[in-house]
Amino acid sequence: MNLHEYQARDILRRHGIPVPDGEVVTTAAAARAAAERMGGAVVVKAQVHAGGRGKAGGVRVVKTPTEAEAVAEAILGMTIKDLPVQKVLVTPAVDIASESYVAIIVDRVSQRPVLMVSPAGGIDIEEVAARAPQQIHRVAIDPRYGLLAHQALALGFTLHRDLQHARAAAAVMQRLYTAVYDAGASLAEINPLVTTSDGKLLALDAKIVVDDNELERRPELAALRDVSAEAPAEVRAREAGLTFIKLVGTVGCCVNGAGLAMATMDLVKYYGGEPANFLDIGGSSNPQKVVSALQIITADRAVKAILFNIFGGITRCDDVANGIVQATGQFPLIVPIVIRLTGTNELEAVRILTKAGFSALTDMDEAVKQAVAAAQGDGGGGGTAA
Ligand code: GDP
Ligand code: MN
């Protein structure tokens, strides 16, 4: 779950990381009033679950409340990466002397939280990684001991030459680790962490992603979810109990089980296609889930063919078949569908599907080849290995 910047800032502040004040508002007039209270010079920042807001024009530094009102008006009408801006954060403008980058991510390779810092702050870390990888410094944190003072200070010195700033940065790093641990975060990023012209250290931006699996035992964090700011397809999928991730391709995939879903995506790519999504309908037997899944997939205009890949174990193939028949009765498909089912109640499923005018395959390679070909518009069959 993504938190908004203002929510992430509150968490950092509670952990003792210096963060400027801020007010979240939903109207231009309220932005003006907030700017007046803050003495005029403020930053108006779009609160959306997207990075690179600055580049998109969603972060603006202004000198007067009148300007704050005008830019708030403009930002509140913006859409950044398909997400409409509904709230802006107004925060006192800071005189920046230097910008650095500090983040903690859970890293698969080291199987640990990794603290990653760079003196090249304020720009995307991907850009730094591409242009100047030597400017990124890392340490893997042993969860038994946490981030140790000397580790933090060593990284503090990669950001600042003088002891005072290095120490202050190290303190931010240690507090950030505690925040990550307490929030069950998979990522926490401060970009930029700045020094001001009067020598202070401040976190000007904050991004926290909470691992969804941690929300059950952290109701106070779960309550921060802002459904109105999430992609509609992802909200619908979550409400329907599906695991769904939108991707950029054209083959809509509907699969049971995360492992099979990954294998299906790999095979789609192997045969020259691009998956439009990851979608796991889970291990339950429930035609309604299939209906919801098809609703979500068909709502995506980029989808040019739909691929069902079901390995019936606990999931019964006949339930999936019934779901497909029900769904296509409710909303006729405008793109080709390729169905592969095997396992529990497979024969019954084939009977249900055939009766409704669908054909069903049992071979996964064949199904994927057909779906890729259908998405590429040559009407099924064929498809060559990459
Ligand atoms: P992002 O583009 O979504 O990462 O948004 P940020 O909050 O990181 O803002 C982008 C950039 O705006 C920062 O890197 C800063 O350079 C600049 N910025 C943000 N707040 C201030 C501020 O208070 N004063 C000044 N001068 N610049 C700011
Ligand atoms: Mn930023």
For 307-327, the pLDDT digits (tens) are 999 999 989 999 999 999 999
**Is residue 96 in contact with ligand 1, taking CB distance under 6 Å?**
yes
Band (232; pLDDT cuts 50, 70, 90): confident
CB 116 within 8 A of CB 125: yes
Q: Whose CA is nearest to atom 4 of ligand 1?
A: 52
Q: Please give the pLDDT value at position 285.
A: 66
C-alpha span between 216 and 237 (Å, rounded): 18
Dihedral, CA atoms, 152, 155, 157, 160, nearest 10 degrees?
-100
Ligand nearest to the CA of 194: 1
Supply the DSSP string of 42-79, one letter for each residue: EEEEE--S-S-TTTTT-EEEESSHHHHHHHHHHHHT-E
Q: Is the CB of 22 under 6 A from ligand 1?
A: no
Neighbours of 367 (CB within 10 A): 22
Q: Which residues are catalytic?
A: 101, 189
Residue 263 CB neighbour total at 10 angstroms:
16
pLDDT of residue 2: 95
Q: Which of 185, 244, 184 is nearest to 217 (CA)?
A: 184
Q: Compute the distance from residue 2 Cα to the ligand 2 centre, in Å.
A: 15
Task: Say how many Å lie between the first and final Cα of the chain, rounded.
Answer: 36
Q: Is the CB of 52 under 6 A from ligand 1?
A: yes
Q: pLDDT at residue 224 above 60?
A: yes
Q: Which tens digits make up the pLDDT trace of 176-201?
A: 999 999 999 999 999 999 999 999 99
Q: What is the DSSP letter of 3?
A: P
DSSP state of 187: E
Q: Which of 47, 53, 205 to mutate to test the pocket of ligand 1 (most atoms within 8 A of CB)?
A: 205
Most informative mutation of 2, 3, 59 for ligand 1 (most atoms within 8 A of CB): 59
**CA 253 to each of CA 108, 261, 306, 342, 349: distance values in angstroms, whole numbers, following the listed order:** 26, 8, 6, 16, 19
- In 127-144, which positions are buried (b, 16+ CB within 10 angstroms) versus exposed (e)? ebeeeeeebbbebebeee
Instruction: Give the residue with greater pLDDT, 81 vs 297.
Output: 297
Residue type, 199: G
Looking at residue 207, what is its pLDDT?
Answer: 97
Contact 36/65 with Cβ under 8 angstroms?
yes
How far away, in angstroms, is 122 Cα from ligand 1 center? Answer: 7
3-state helix, strand, coil in the chain (%, to 5): 40, 25, 35
Confidence of residue 381 (pLDDT cuts 50, 70, 90): very low
Nearest to 58 by CA among 210, 227, 205: 205
Rounded average pLDDT over 1-9: 97
Q: Which residues surround ligand 2, an ion (CB under 5 A)?
A: 191, 205
Q: Which two tokens stand for residue 333?
A: 């498909």
The protein residue with its alpha carbon nearest to ligand 1, atom 15, reads 122
CA 207 / ligand 1 centre spacing (Å): 13
